[in-house]
Structure 1
Amino acid sequence: MSKKPLEHYVNPAPFDPLSVTKLTPQQERYYTASQWQIMWWKFRKHKLAVYSGIILGCMYLVALFAEIVAPYNLHNREIDFIYAPPQAVHFFHEDEFIGPFVYGYDYTLNMENLKREYTSNPSQVNELQFFCRSNQDYAFWGLISGDFHIVCPPENGTFFVWGTDRLGRDIFSRIIYGSRISLTIGLIGVFISFVLGTLLGGMAGYFGGLIDTFVLRAIEILKSFPTLPLFMTLSALLPVTWSPLGVFFGISIILGLLDWPGLARAVRSKLLSLREEDFTTAAQLMGASHARVIGRHLLPSFSSHLIASATLAVPMMILGETSLSFLGLGLRAPITSWGVLLNEAQNISAVVLYPWLLLPVQPVILVVLCYNFLGDGLRDAADPYK
C-alpha cells in the first residue's frame, strides 16, 4: 500500500485574516463587559422592575426628608378640624385659572349619629404655597431646626389632602413621617436575617456533620411555631419601660431572628451540591480557606436566589411590623409607623363614618408590590441561564 504525500494531510494554504468573522460593535461591547454591566443591561429590559425601583427610591427619598416634604409637623393638632375629610386640589375657580388651591370647610355636627360633617365652601379659596417657609417649625432628624417646606398650608387655611384623625392631625403628613420607621425596619430586619441565613446555611451545607444536624434542628424548631403568635409573644416580652428607639430596634431584631430559617435552608441545599463541583475542589487544592471558598466561589454561584430572597423578605418584614403595631403589640406611640396609624382603624364605627382612616394601608400595598416586582427583575438579571 503506497503512502500518500504529506501535502495530502497538511493544508498548504496560508492563513487569511480576512476570512475571520469580525464582531459587530454591539457584540464586542457585550463580550468585553463585566458581569455587573451585563446584569444592569438585563435588568433595564424588565420595565416593571425598573419603575418599581424608581418608586421605591422616591419613597425612601421622601422618608429621608420627611420634615421638608410633610406640610404639617408630626404632632401638630388642628382642634377645629377633627375627622376632617380629604380636601381636593383644584386649579380653576369659576372658569378662571388660579393655580393649585383648596376650598375651605363649613362644619356642622349631625345630632342623629354625632358625625362631624364638613362641606366645601366655594367662597373660601385657599391658594397653596410651594417651596416656602411656614409657622410649622421642625428639627430635621432631631438635630437641625428649620421651617422650610415643599408645600405649605394656606395662610389662615387648611390643606388636608388625606383628611385628619381623631385629634385633628394631618394623616398625609403622619404617613410621610411613618414611612421613615416602616421602610427602615424592613432593611434592618433583612440585614440580620440575611447574615444569619447565609452564615448558618453556608456552614451547614459546606461542612455537614454535626453542624448540619444542629442547624437543621434549629430550623425545624423555629418553623414548628405558628408565626403570628410567636411574633406576638416575643413582642409582648419587650419591657414597657424601654424607650421608643429601644422598642424599634427590639422589633427589628425579632423580625430578623425569626426570618432566617427559610434562607438558611435554601443556602444549605445549594451548597450541598456545589461543594462537590470541580471548581470547589480546585480552590481547596490551591489552599483557599473555607471562608474564601464559601464567600468567593459558592455563594456568588446562586446570587440570583439570594437577591430575590432579600428583596422579597423586606415587604414581609414591613407587613410583620404593620400587623404587630395594628394589634397593639409592636411599635407604640409616640413612634409613628404605618402600623401605628392603622391601629386607629380598629374602631369599626369610626371607619364607617370616616373611611379615610384606612388610607395608611395604601403605601403598605404599594411598597409590597414594588418590592415583589423589583425582586423578579433582579432575579432574572442575576440568573446566568437567562
Structure 2
Amino acid sequence: MAVETLSRALDLPKVRAVRESQTALMWRRFKQHRLALISMWIVLAFYLVAIFAEFLAPTDPSAYSPRYTYAPPQGLHFIARSEDGGLLLGPYVYGYKTEIDPVALRRTFVIDESQRLPISLFAKSKPYLLAGFIPMSVKLFGVADPRAPLYILGADRLGRDLLSRLIHGTRISLSIGLAGVTLSLFFGIIIGGFAGYYGGRFDSAVMRVVEFIRSMPTIPLWLGLAAAMPKDWTALQTYFAITIILSLIGWTGLARVVRGRFLSLRTEDFVTAAQLDGASDWRIITRHMVPSFMSHIIAAATLAVPGMILAETSLSFLGLGLQAPIVSWGTLLQDAQNIRTLATAPWLLTPGIAVVVIILAMNFFGDGLRDAADPHGR
C-alpha cells in the first residue's frame, strides 16, 4: 500500500517555483488598489501635460487681447446641424458678441451661436521650442482663423487664454514639487541615515535641529525665507530659490523616518557581516541599508510631493513666491483674490480645481505605494 501511494505521488506534476522581485511583488499588490491605480494614471497625465505644455496649449500664455478681457468660457461642441438639416461632426466653438449691461453700464460677452468656429487638430502655429529645445510649428488644436477668439476656459483681466496659462503653470508647479522632493530625499537620507547609523551625540544634535525646524510655524517661516530673496533676481533664480527653500523645510520629516529605520537595521546580521567583511560605512549605508527599505522611501517621497505643490501655491498666492511673468498655479490664483472679480469671472478659480485634483491623486497614489511596500500588509 505504501509503495502504491509513493508511486502516485511521483506521478504528480512538478510545481515550478516562481520567483518575483520586490518590484514585481509591489506592482502586483499595487494593482489591487483600484483607486491608487486610477490616481497613478491621473498623475502621469498631469506630468505629460507638463512635458508637452507648448504643444498642448492652443496659444502663447503671455499673448493678450484687450478686446476679450474677462471673456467667458466658450466650451467645446462636437455635433452641429447644417443648413439643410444634416449633422456636422467635429469639434467647434461659438464666437462672441458684446452687449451693454443696462444696470452696470458695462460691456458683457454673450455666446453667439450664429458664429461657429471649427477647431482643427494639429493646427499650424508660430514656431516655438517644445520643452525648450525641439523646434516645432504645430499645436495640438486651434481655430482656422488666427484672429478668431479661442477661450475654452475663458480669459483673464488682460484677455489671456486661461487654458494655455493653466497648462504652462502645470509645468512650473509640478516640477517644483518634484525637484523639491528630490532635494529633500537627498538631505533626509544622508542626514537621517548618518544620525541613525552612528547615533550618540551626532544623532542628538541632528534630532534637536529637526525638532527646532518642525516646531517653527510653517507659514511665517516660508514668509521670512521668501522675503529674504533679492527683488532684482530673475525669474529663473527665483524659481530655484523657492525650490531650495521648500527643500530646506521639507527634509525633516523624511530624516526622522530614515533615522528610525537605520536604528533598527544597524544591528541586523547583514550589516554586521558587511562590517566584518571590511566594507566602509558609506558602502554599508548606500549599498546595504538604504536599498533594504527603498520602497518605503519611494512611498514617503510620493506623499511629500503634494505638500511641496501646496507650499509653492501658497507662497505664490500670497505674493511672496513666484511672480509674473512666471506662470504657476499660485500666480494664476492671484487673480482670484478679488471677490468682485470672482463675481464676474468665476472661471478664474479653475487652477484651484487643478490643485485639488492633483493633490488628491498624489495622496491616493502614495497610499497605494505605501500599502504595496508594506511587507506586513494584507
| TM-score with structure 2 setting the length | 0.91
Q: Say which of 150, 153, 157 aligns to 1:162.
A: 153
Cα deviation 1:316-350 (Å, max 9, x = unaligned): 10100000000000001111101010011111110
Deviation above 6 Å: which 4+ runs of structure 1? 11-17
Instruction: For residue 128 of structure 1, give the secondary structure of its aligned residue in structure 2.
Output: strand
Q: CA RMSD in A?
A: 2.3
Structure 1 pair 359–116 and aligned structure 2 pair: CA distance change class (3 A): farther
Task: Say yes or no: does 1:215 pair with 2:206.
Answer: yes
Deviates more, 1:85-94 or 1:240-249: 85-94
Q: Report how far residue 373 of structure 1 moved.
A: 1.4
Q: Say which of 205, 217, 220 aligns to 1:226.
A: 217
Per the alignment, residue 67 of structure 2 pairs with 80
Cα deviation 1:206-225 (Å, max 9, x = unaligned): 10112101101111111121
Per the alignment, residue 138 of structure 1 pairs with 128
Instruction: Indicate the structure (1 or 2) with the bigger Cα radius of gyration.
Output: 1
Letter in structure 2 aligned against 1:293: I
Cα deviation 1:240-274 (Å, max 9, x = unaligned): 11110000000000000111111111111222122
Instruction: For residue 204 of structure 1, give the secondary structure of its aligned residue in structure 2.
Output: helix
Task: Report how many aligned residue pairs link the two structures.
Answer: 371
Q: Say which of 294, 298, 303 aligns to 1:303.
A: 294
Between the aligned partners of 1:115 and 1:261, the Cα distance in structure 2 is 53
CA contact (8 A) 1:68 1:149 kept: yes
CA contact (8 A) 1:48 1:373 kept: yes
Q: Say which of 19, 23, 26 aligns to 1:39.
A: 26
Structure 1 pair 145–276 and aligned structure 2 pair: CA distance change class (3 A): closer
Per the alignment, residue 6 of structure 1 pairs with none
Letter in structure 2 aligned against 1:221: F
Per the alignment, residue 5 of structure 1 pairs with none
Cα deviation 1:93-142 (Å, max 9, x = unaligned): 346334211111111232533554221212111111111203x4433344
Instruction: For residue 101 of structure 1, give the secondary structure of its aligned residue in structure 2.
Output: strand
CA contact (8 A) 1:178 1:337 kept: yes
Q: Report how far residue 182 of structure 1 moved.
A: 0.6
Between the aligned partners of 1:22 and 1:281, the Cα distance in structure 2 is 42
| TM-score with structure 1 setting the length | 0.90
Between the aligned partners of 1:245 and 1:205, the Cα distance in structure 2 is 36
Q: Report how far residue 20 of structure 1 moved.
A: 8.7
Letter in structure 2 aligned against 1:60: Y
Q: Report how far residue 86 of structure 1 moved.
A: 0.6
Letter in structure 2 aligned against 1:109: I
Per the alignment, residue 141 of structure 2 pairs with 151
Taking the TM superposition and a 5 Å limit, the aligned residue runs for 1:33-112 are 33-94=20-81, 96-110=87-101, 112=103
Per the alignment, residue 377 of structure 1 pairs with 368
Structure 1 pair 108–242 and aligned structure 2 pair: CA distance change class (3 A): same
Letter in structure 2 aligned against 1:281: T
Could you tell me which runs of 5 or more consecutive residues in structure 1 were left unpaired when the two chains were aligned: 1-10
Q: Say which of 186, 189, 193 aligns to 1:195.
A: 186
Instruction: For residue 359 of structure 1, give the secondary structure of its aligned residue in structure 2.
Output: helix
Letter in structure 1 aligned against 2:69: I
CA contact (8 A) 2:123 2:143 kept: no
Q: Report how far residue 68 of structure 1 moved.
A: 1.0
Instruction: For residue 78 of structure 2, give the secondary structure of its aligned residue in structure 1.
Output: strand
Between the aligned partners of 2:13 and 2:22, the Cα distance in structure 1 is 23
Instruction: For residue 223 of structure 1, give the secondary structure of its aligned residue in structure 2.
Output: helix
Letter in structure 1 aligned against 2:33: H
Cα deviation 1:301-324 (Å, max 9, x = unaligned): 333431221001111101000000
Instruction: For residue 123 of structure 2, give the secondary structure of its aligned residue in structure 1.
Output: strand
Q: Say which of 147, 159, 163 aligns to 1:172.
A: 163
Letter in structure 2 aligned against 1:150: L
Could you tell me which runs of 5 or more consecutive residues in structure 2 were left unpaired when the two chains were aligned: none
Instruction: For residue 74 of structure 1, give the secondary structure of its aligned residue in structure 2.
Output: coil
Between the aligned partners of 1:307 and 1:20, the Cα distance in structure 2 is 46
Q: Say which of 337, 346, 354 aligns to 2:328.
A: 337
Task: Say yes or no: does 1:258 pair with 2:249.
Answer: yes
Structure 1 pair 23–82 and aligned structure 2 pair: CA distance change class (3 A): farther
Deviates more, 1:267-276 or 1:13-22: 13-22
CA contact (8 A) 1:271 1:298 kept: yes
CA contact (8 A) 2:302 2:365 kept: yes
Between the aligned partners of 1:262 and 1:21, the Cα distance in structure 2 is 54
Cα deviation 1:353-372 (Å, max 9, x = unaligned): 11001111121111111111
Between the aligned partners of 1:261 and 1:55, the Cα distance in structure 2 is 28
Q: Say which of 263, 267, 287 aligns to 2:278.
A: 287
Between the aligned partners of 1:23 and 1:324, the Cα distance in structure 2 is 63
Q: Report how far residue 18 of structure 1 moved.
A: 4.2
